[in-house]
Amino acid sequence: MGVVPIATSHKATEGPQPDGSSLRVWLSDPLCFTPWYTASLARALASANVSLRLLSASVSREPEYFSQVGLSPDPGPFRFDQLANGWPSSLRRVLRCAAAISNAIALARTLESTPSKRPDIIHLQQLPLLNHNIGSDFELLRAARRCHIPVVHTVHNLLPHDTGNRLESIYGRLYRSVDHLICHSRDIADALEARFDIPSIFISVIPHGPLFESADQRNPSDARATLKLPPDRPIVLWQGVMASYKGLDLLLQAWTASVPRWRNRSTAMPLLVIAGTGSSEVEAEVQAAAAALPDTLRADVHYIPTSRLPSYYQAADLLVYPYRSITTSGALLTGLCYRKPIIASDLPPFREYLEPNQNALLVPPGDVAALSFALQEAVDGITNLYQQPRAEAGRNIYLDLLAGAANNPRRYVGWDQIARQTIDVYRMAIAAKAAQPKVCKVLHTFPKASLRKA
C-alpha cells in the first residue's frame, strides 16, 4: 500500500463511506496513554461498522470519560486500575501497570485457547511499559503471530520524549515485530525507514485527527467569564501536558523578556495563561514564574476536565506551541479546531498544518529572541484591534493570521476519513498475512530477517 497521502480537508471525501462491517478489531491502549486519540478513533471505526473491542484502562483523572462518549472498554479480566481511581499517583500507576501486564498475558492465552474470540486484527497504540523494559506486550505479539493474526501499531512518537537513544533497541524490536506501522507525518515515515530499516511498504501515513472539537461555539467573553479571565486584555494560551520538550521554559523566558516593553505602554497588559499538569519540575518552574509576574501570567496548574477545556481555547486570542521537538501534536490539532492565530516552532510535523504568516508565526525551535519578537508582534496586533474597529485598523499581522485561521478546518482530516484510511490498512495487512505461510511452531524470538514480511 505504501504511504497514504495526507488529505487537505477535514470533511468526508468523495466516494463510499468506510465500511468495516466484516472486521473484528482489538484496539489496544492498555495504559490509556492516548485516551483522546483512542476514543476518537474507536468511535469513528464503530461508526464505520467495525466490530470493536477497546482494550484500555479508564482515563485516570476522568474515569467516566469513555462511557460519556459511548464507549465501553474491555481491557481483559483484570481491572486493578478501577481500584486506583482517586488514589495517590504513585499507587495508581503501580496498579494500572499491574493490570496492563496481567491483561497482556491473559489476552495472549485467550488468542491461543479460544479461536472463536480471536479478532481479525490487533491495533496497538502507545505501549509505555516498554519505557521500563517490561516486555509483557511482546507476549501478546507472540501469540498473535502464532495465531496468524496481523498486528498494526500507530507510532505516536518515534521514541518516547526526553529519553534520547536509550530505548531505541526495544522500540526497534517493536517496530520490526508488527505487520504494519501507521504514523502521522511523512518525516516520521522517512525516519522509520532510515533509522529502523523498516521498508516503506510496511508504513502508512494517516493524519492525526482533531481533538476536543466543540459544537458549542461560545462567545469569547462568555468563556472568559466562566474562567474568571479579564474581558478586555489580550490573552495568550499555552495548554497541554507540561513536559520539557514542549518548551515551556523558552516561553517563560520570551514572555519575561517582553513584559518590560508592554509595561512602558499605556495599553492593557497581555495575560499569558498556562493550563495543564506535568512533571513536578516543570510545574514548579511555571508556578515560580507566575509568582514573579502575577499581573501578566496565570498558572492553572491542575488537571483540566474535558468539559472545561473548550472554554480556554474560546477565551484565548493567541495560542503558542514553542516545542523543541515533536512527532505529532494532539495539542496543536486541538488548537486548530478553534480557529485562533498560532505561534509555533518551525518543525516539520507542524508545517503539515501551519503556513508562515497565513495562520501562524513560525520561529526557529529554541530561539527565545525570535519567540519574544513574535509574541510582541502578535500582541501588538491584538491590542490595536481592541482599541479600534477592524474596518479602521491598518496593516495588522494579527488580523491576517485571524483570516488565515478561519480556514483551519480545511487543513486537517476528519475522523470519518481517518477511519476509512485505517480500515484500508487493516484489510491490506489481513490480505498480506493470509498470503504468508502459517507459523507451525512456537517462536520465542523475533530475528530481524524473519520479520521482514515477504
DSSP string, 111-126: HHH-GGG--SEEEE--
Q: Are residues 404 and 423 in the same domain?
A: no
Whether residue 110 sits in one domain with residue 158: yes
DSSP string computed for 22-90: T-EEEEEETT-SSHHHHHHHHHHHHHTT-EEEEEEPPPSS-TTHHHHTT------S--HHHHHTTS-HH
Residue 201: all three cell numbers together:
511498504
399 inside domain: yes
Q: Which helix (H) or strand (E) holds 432?
A: helix 415-434
What average pLDDT is seen over the chain?
87
The continuous run of DSSP H or E covering 277 comes out as none
- The answer to whether position 184 is within a domain reads yes
Smallest Cα–Cα separation from 412: which of 274, 207, 108, 156?
207
CATH for 334: 3.40.50.2000
pLDDT digits (tens, 9 = 90+) for 36-49: 999 999 999 999 99
* Distance separating alpha carbons of residues 406 and 358, to the nearest angstrom: 10
Letter for the amino acid at 228? K
Can you give the pLDDT of all 454 residues of the chain as single tens digits? 333 333 333 333 444 445 667 899 999 999 999 999 999 999 999 999 999 999 999 988 888 999 999 999 999 998 876 666 666 777 778 888 999 999 999 999 999 999 999 999 999 999 999 999 898 999 999 999 999 999 999 999 999 887 888 999 999 999 999 999 999 989 899 999 999 999 999 999 999 998 887 666 778 999 999 999 999 999 999 999 898 899 999 999 999 999 999 998 878 899 999 999 988 888 999 999 999 999 999 999 999 999 899 999 999 999 999 999 887 778 898 899 999 999 999 998 898 899 999 999 999 999 999 999 999 999 999 998 877 765 555 678 999 999 999 999 888 889 999 999 999 999 999 999 998 876 544 443 433 433 333 3
Residues 398 and 445 in one domain: no
Instruction: Answer yes or no: is 337 within a domain.
Output: yes
Question: Based on the domain organization, do 136 and 38 belong to the same domain?
Answer: yes
What is the side-by-side strand order in the sheet with 51-56? 51-56, 24-29, 121-124, 151-154, 180-183, 203-205
Scanning 329-414, the segments in alpha helix (DSSP H) are 330-337, 348-351, 368-387, 397-405
- Which cell goes with 203? 508504513
Is residue 83 included in any domain, yes or no?
yes
Residue-range definition of the domain harbouring residue 423: 24-209+414-451
Domain total of the chain: 2
How much is the pTM? 0.85
Q: Which residue in 221, 407, 234 sits closest to 311, CA to CA?
A: 221
In a domain, 293, yes or no: yes
Q: Which residues contact 414 (CB under 8 A, 6 or more apart)?
A: 9, 10, 11, 12, 209, 210
Question: Are residues 179 and 258 both part of a single domain?
Answer: no
Asked if residue 16 belongs to a domain, the reply is no
For 137, the grid coordinates are: 506486550
Q: Which residues contact 29 (CB under 8 A, 6 or more apart)?
A: 35, 38, 54, 55, 56, 125, 126
385 domain-assigned: yes
Separation CA 197–CA 35 (nearest Å): 29
